[in-house]
Chains A and B, each alone.
Chain A
């Protein structure tokens, strides 16, 4: 294995990508501190180290690094919190967040941001979008993030969590029918994702859904050609990355636009694939349900 240090990794990537120190350390640490990290005079804590790597577009999980007892406990707690939230176990998740706050020896901006984000997610899951917004905005302010449309023409870098925050903010605004503000954020996120040089593929996880949202907007404004292009790109991205989330909605809208534009009718293969996605989404624990089988029977059986 190569003896590359954390400082070397940071400095080399930052310089190769011609990123100024101010952009990398915005809201995280001072330029002086960053310089010391790059020269290996000091080592940041793990959370800060991960965030710096994410902003540089690197996938921090490839790099093993070891921590203090507090950081170890916190990283295990974070894993548990995220698992509980993904299972919609709100009560336990909130209890675990409380434990996280108690474990913190010193509450710094990254941990505060993390806590606020998880709380915002819980509230978002309960479809309480109005209460989620201030939590998301407070979280963004922890690392000096401005409204995303104020970054035009300047070099800006985002960590994974900052991308999550902007995305969920847009989703809240969209759900509350504040479409103009929502679309501004989606558009800026799309631009960021298309221009950043990044090996950290996690930041692209929202890209297809963002394209879908923008396509919805364009379709509503009768710009069907633009909407269609977004959907084709989204579909291609999802398939090439072997993902599946949002694909059904994307293909459904694409099919509707094809009909509106009187394009050639979707092929049987395309229609069948849409049906397949519907059956898969209705499955439980990996098994197809009776409902899924009935759906198939009503549509496809005669083709076989």
Chain B
């Protein structure tokens, strides 16, 4: 039978995250005390238990079966909302957000819910040009710090469990760092996300892993790190194909083709590699055309293909 005592909960969450007792107990209690909590010799107070669990990225309030949303009935609406956001269907985003707030009364007691709502509200404001680049960055960082009060996004702890709203916030913050020309901070976030996703205990079912990697690859290419960008794209193509999950796959093929072309233009590769670049961009075209992807990028891909004519 499963044991759902506080001792087991603390110990196995810590082990799953690869944290030592020293790391977890820091600023909360001493390691010896933590060890006694984990052995069941001492029962931690509710406050200590909550602080330990919060540090590990879980809410200590519910330890039997935490559910990642207010009620699982609204899971469908929340999923639809994230999809509409990706597709920039702003009216739909607004409607679904109102539905989640009013009909389902998503509780604002929980920080992850606050983050979920505030992030979307900020993006909506940005889409309506009601907030500028610098201000939205500042606001997104503030939302991020609801659950990470002691760190900046470019130094987020890799060893914690990062929830989907937090991952999406990091992705948005990195994007706005780029827009605001804070390239080093953006790179720092992406590098840390890369380390996070490569942890063997992380369940990489987050759809938005590929959003982050695509943005990372784009940034690397735009700052002239073509080989690094190709490496990221290659890694993600392998991952997507291995997991039989090809959302955004075409973007990675396109990026490889684009990077090869840039290398040729900059004299880093011979003109013979043009054929290789063509094939990657051609593959991107086929995938974007055939899958129900957003077709906004199709004209750009077609233009890239046409530009090969005569070469």
- Enumerate chain A interface residues (CB-CB to B < 8 A): 1-6, 9, 42-46, 49, 61-69, 71-72, 76, 199, 205, 239-240, 242-245, 269, 272-273, 276, 279-280, 283, 285-288, 292-293, 296-297, 300, 304
List 9 additional contacts besides A65-B64, A286-B237; criterion CB under 8 Å.
A1-B113, A3-B61, A4-B72, A5-B65, A64-B65, A205-B244, A276-B283, A279-B283, A288-B283
Would you give 22 A-B contacts (Cβ < 8 Å), ordered by A?
A1-B62, A1-B70, A2-B62, A5-B64, A9-B72, A44-B1, A46-B2, A62-B68, A65-B65, A76-B201, A243-B245, A243-B246, A244-B241, A245-B244, A273-B290, A286-B235, A286-B252, A287-B256, A288-B276, A288-B279, A288-B280, A292-B279
Among A6, A244, A279, A286, which residue has its beta carbon within 8 angstroms of that of B65? A6
CA distance A221 to B267 in the complex (A): 59
A-B CB contacts (within 8 Å), total count = 142
How close is B302's CB to chain A, nearest CB, in angstroms? 11
Query: How many residues of B are in contact with the other chain, CB < 8 A?
Result: 61
* A293-B275 in contact given A245-B244, A279-B283, A300-B282 (Cβ < 8 Å): yes
CA distance A72 to B209 in the complex (A): 26
- Enumerate chain B interface residues (CB-CB to A < 8 A): 1-4, 8-9, 12-13, 15-16, 58-59, 61-72, 75, 110, 112-113, 201, 203, 205, 233-238, 241, 244-247, 249, 252, 256, 275-276, 278-280, 282-283, 286-287, 289-292, 305, 308-309
Among A9, A66, A269, which residue has its beta carbon within 8 angstroms of that of B4? A66
> Considering only CB atoms, which chain A residue lies closest to B107 in the complex?
A2
- Is there an interface contact between B305 and A72, defined as CB atoms closer than 8 Å? no
How close is A179's CB to chain B, nearest CB, in angstroms? 26
CA distance A61 to B67 in the complex (A): 10
Among B13, B61, B67, B113, which residue has its beta carbon within 8 angstroms of that of A63? B67
Provide the residues of chain A in CB contact with B286, threshold 8 Å. 272-273, 276
CA distance A66 to B56 in the complex (A): 14
How close is A104's CB to chain B, nearest CB, in angstroms? 14
CA distance A71 to B16 in the complex (A): 12
- Is there an interface contact between B2 and A49, defined as CB atoms closer than 8 Å? yes
How close is A291's CB to chain B, nearest CB, in angstroms? 12
5 smallest beta-carbon distances between A and B, as pairs:
A286-B237, A286-B234, A276-B286, A286-B238, A242-B247
CA distance A56 to B257 in the complex (A): 45
- Is there an interface contact between B234 and A287, defined as CB atoms closer than 8 Å? yes
* A1-B3 in contact given A61-B205, A67-B12 (Cβ < 8 Å): no
* A242-B67 in contact given A61-B203, A286-B234 (Cβ < 8 Å): no
Among B1, B112, B237, B276, which residue has its beta carbon within 8 angstroms of that of A45? B1
CA distance A286 to B238 in the complex (A): 5
- Is there an interface contact between B8 and A67, defined as CB atoms closer than 8 Å? yes
- Is there an interface contact between A285 and B110, defined as CB atoms closer than 8 Å? no
Provide the residues of chain B in CB contact with A61, threshold 8 Å. 203, 205
Among B13, B68, B247, B290, which residue has its beta carbon within 8 angstroms of that of A1? B68
- Is there an interface contact between A304 and B278, defined as CB atoms closer than 8 Å? yes
Provide the residues of chain A in CB contact with B71, threshold 8 Å. 2, 4
How close is A43's CB to chain B, nearest CB, in angstroms? 5
How close is A130's CB to chain B, nearest CB, in angstroms? 28
CA distance A293 to B256 in the complex (A): 14
CA distance A50 to B195 in the complex (A): 29
Among B2, B234, B247, which residue has its beta carbon within 8 angstroms of that of A285? B234
Provide the residues of chain A in CB contact with B246, threshold 8 Å. 242-244
> Considering only CB atoms, which chain B residue lies closest to A281 in the complex?
B241
- Is there an interface contact between B8 and A68, defined as CB atoms closer than 8 Å? yes
Provide the residues of chain A in CB contact with B238, threshold 8 Å. 285-286
Among A69, A288, A292, A304, which residue has its beta carbon within 8 angstroms of that of B305? A304
> Considering only CB atoms, which chain B residue lies closest to A49 in the complex?
B2
